[in-house]
Amino acid sequence: QVQLVESGGGLVQPGGSLRLSCAASGFIFSYQLMSWYRQAPGKERELVAGISSDGGSTAYADSVKGRFTISRDNAKNTVYLQMDSLKPDDTAVYYCRTIIIKPTKRDYWGQGTQVTVSS
């Protein structure tokens, strides 16, 4: 079955860095667009970054442009989110997501990993 397992979250001081990983299984990873979302307390879940199946195209929310980098390793079935210059506003649960179209359209999310930016 499809699984997305995030890791790498934790507590970091403002200005610090973290690298999140999302290990995927149960589908052909190299065919899939992958994305990272986040949800802060009391707020709606929002798109942070997305990456095409071959890694050649990426997109970012304005709030993280220039600070976060999404990448993937198709040989390891893993997508990453490098987060630099972290701010308290980046505090949230971060989720990995993919939408598989065939045989039927289904939306898959990981369980999330907590990122807390605080001094």
Average pLDDT over residues 54-59: 97
Q: Is the pLDDT score of 103 beyond 90?
A: no
The pLDDT score that the predictor gives to residue 94 is 98
The pLDDT score that the predictor gives to residue 82 is 98
pLDDT digits (tens, 9 = 90+) for 1-36: 999 999 999 999 999 999 999 999 999 999 999 999
Average pLDDT over residues 82-99: 98
Residue 1 CA to residue 3 CA, distance in Å, equals 6
Task: Enumerate residues 6+ apart whose C-beta is below 8 A from 44.
Answer: none
Average pLDDT over residues 25-54: 97
Computed over every residue of the chain, the mean pLDDT equals 97
The pLDDT score that the predictor gives to residue 104 is 86
Q: How confident is the model at residue 76 (pLDDT cuts 50, 70, 90)?
A: very high
Average pLDDT over residues 37-64: 97
Average pLDDT over residues 49-64: 97
The sign of the torsion formed by the CA atoms of 94, 17, 2, 48 equals positive
The pLDDT score that the predictor gives to residue 102 is 83
